[in-house]
Structure 1
Amino acid sequence: MPQNQRDIKRRIQSTKNTAQITKAMEMVAAAKLRRVQEAVQQSKPYLAKMQSMLAGISKSARWVKHPLLAERPIRRTGYLVITGDRGLAGPYNSQIIRTALQEFRRRDKDTYVIYAIGRRGRDFFRKHGYPVGGEVVGVPDVPTYDSVRDLATQVVQAYADEQFDELYFIYNEFINPVTQRPVVKKVLPLSDVGEAPASSAQYLFEPDAETVFASLLPRYAETLVYQAVLDAKASFHGAQMTAMGNATDAAKEMIESLTLQLNRARQAAITTQIVEIVGGAEALK
């Protein structure tokens, strides 16, 4: 067999193996996406109920104050940037980092601090000398509240201690498995607590409304962090599913192209052999 035919066959087999891998990764990403979407749906009633309770307390007791509600002069800004721990998800990580850098370029490095969730973002910011105040890596594919609680508590407490005066989330918002949109969302101070629809239920507070409010408000802020991580994970699995699907389609197209090349090479070899046989027969006459 001519050398080029062996090479083409080898490339076809290699591409088929790659297509099997990417197809398997696409299916795994789809399964993980479904599980994260279920976790999002399960957490929404909890967040809605907490919002309702906080709205009820704030409307019934306007005198209740808390550091997480306080509007302060902006001297320093906190950013919670959520990326993935791995790649193979198309532009998922790069577009988050690019969005974050657009924000950072408008500020001096001593006027903001970064809290990174995800190895890709953490490594990039540390490598390029950006101020990283906290980090979490190795978040499960279907995140749990415990997996981000420590960092969420750290961020909320840092704001309460006036280490920075506003907090933004930067992450990919999940639209659908094909579309993920990078967003920059202001979270602290909590300006939307009083805007949520208050529950019609009447509550008795023990020991008092101020103590209950002070206990619920940090937990509410931490839950917002968890919700953002769930949304970002759904976006990651959707992006990976799309990227692996595109890779599988590209592999199939390459296999078709290589198969065509192989057939042409075979035809050329057969034609050459026929010409040689005819030429030899003519020479014997």
Structure 2
Amino acid sequence: MANIRLIRRRIRSIQSTAKITRAMEMIAASKMRRAQQNVLAGRPYAEKIRQVLAHLAAQPGAAVHPLLERREVSNIQVIHITPDRGLCGGLNTNMNRSTASFILEQVAPTVLITVGKKGRDYMTRYGRQVQAEFTAIGDQPSLMDTLPISRIVIDDYSNGSVDAVYLAYPRFVNTMIQRPVLDQLLPVQPATIERPGEIEYIYEPSSKAVLAELLPRFVEMEVYHAVLESIASEQSARMVAMRNATENANEMVQDLTLAYNKARQEMITKELLDITGGAEALA
């Protein structure tokens, strides 16, 4: 009897867990749609601004902007973007390991700007130098929410505190795939012009002024877009993880229900045998 009560209690507990994971899956699916739309909407802008920067940098007599300047790498800065919460499969682990491996491969000292609690906790636990941390950005951040990150990066590179800046974030490929990527943010690398001889644009007031105004905006947009990619990856990974958890819980309930029915049938059979044996003894 005690075994039957224990099985029944476990079935109820797992069913409650399955309801929670199912609800979390539905919430993540709803947030993922919005995040996915934001990511896909921002990609064409990022590609076009790279092309414009390439044309500006190729203009005759264009001055070298501080954000385009290349120098010997003595200090490296990495913007490490991860979610604030867990329950999203191996997303956090893969992202943290990818960035940690990159840091170990570098000869120059590396400092980190962490965005998200999971990345901050991991890097702090393993003794990495964290220059700044940003948490609780939310599921629908605006460009203003990420401007402080961009400002730190631009100022540090402009005054020579760091010589290269990298952006580490999980890139949203599709619902099932979120790929850790690490792109160089500074110095800015303009896109390659397919036909260099056909530079027909006229910039007002001058190409130098437009370049000086556009480069900081480009860095700000890249950081903001990386945060959006991370949010879309987080929600899609959480949706898949909660779906798998719900399916596993339902399988466990089926197995426990079968074990419960078997134990109950054995108990009933045993009671019938006891009754039959007692009746024969009295006869």
Q: Report deviation, 1:106.
A: 2.8
Quick one: which of 117, 120, 135 aligns to 2:118? 120
Matched residue type, 1:281 = A
What does residue 50 of structure 2 align with?
Answer: 51
What does residue 181 of structure 1 align with?
Answer: 179
Q: Report deviation, 1:200.
A: 8.1
SS of residue paired to 1:67: coil
Q: 1:236 to 1:214 in 2, by over 3 A?
A: same
Q: Which of 273-282 and 170-179 deviates more? A: 170-179
CA distance in 1, matches of 2:94, 2:220: 25
Q: Report deviation, 1:202.
A: 4.0
SS of residue paired to 1:23: helix
SS of residue paired to 2:58: helix
Q: 1:184 to 1:52 in 2, by over 3 A?
A: closer
SS of residue paired to 2:67: helix
* Structure 1 spans left out of the alignment, 5+ residues: none
What does residue 76 of structure 1 align with?
Answer: 75
RMSD (CA atoms): 2.1
CA distance in 2, matches of 1:178, 1:185: 22
- Which stretches of structure 1, 4 residues or longer, exceed 3 Å deviation after superposition? 193-204
Matched residue type, 2:114 = A
Aligned 8 A contact 2:171 2:181 in 1: yes
Q: Tell me the percent identity.
A: 37
Q: Report deviation, 1:98.
A: 1.1
What does residue 91 of structure 2 align with?
Answer: 92
Q: Deviations over 1:211-263 (max 9, x none)?
A: 22111101101111111111111111111111101100110001001100110
Q: 1:140 to 1:201 in 2, by over 3 A?
A: farther
Aligned 8 A contact 1:59 1:194 in 2: no
CA distance in 1, matches of 2:83, 2:194: 31
Q: How does 1:91-240 map to 2 (within 5 A)?
A: 91-107=90-106, 111-193=109-191, 195=193, 202-206=201-205, 208-240=206-238
CA distance in 1, matches of 2:217, 2:136: 23
Matched residue type, 1:157 = D
Q: When the two structures are superposed, what TM-score results if normalisation uses the length of structure 1? A: 0.92
Q: Report deviation, 1:43.
A: 2.3
Q: How does 1:22-33 map to 2 (within 5 A)?
A: 22-33=21-32
Q: Report deviation, 1:46.
A: 3.3
Q: When the two structures are superposed, what TM-score results if normalisation uses the length of structure 2? A: 0.92
Aligned 8 A contact 2:59 2:207 in 1: no
Q: Which of 60-69 and 257-266 deviates more? A: 60-69
Q: Report deviation, 1:93.
A: 0.8
What does residue 41 of structure 2 align with?
Answer: 42
Matched residue type, 1:180 = Q
Q: 1:196 to 1:213 in 2, by over 3 A?
A: farther
Q: Report deviation, 1:142.
A: 2.5
CA distance in 1, matches of 2:194, 2:19: 49
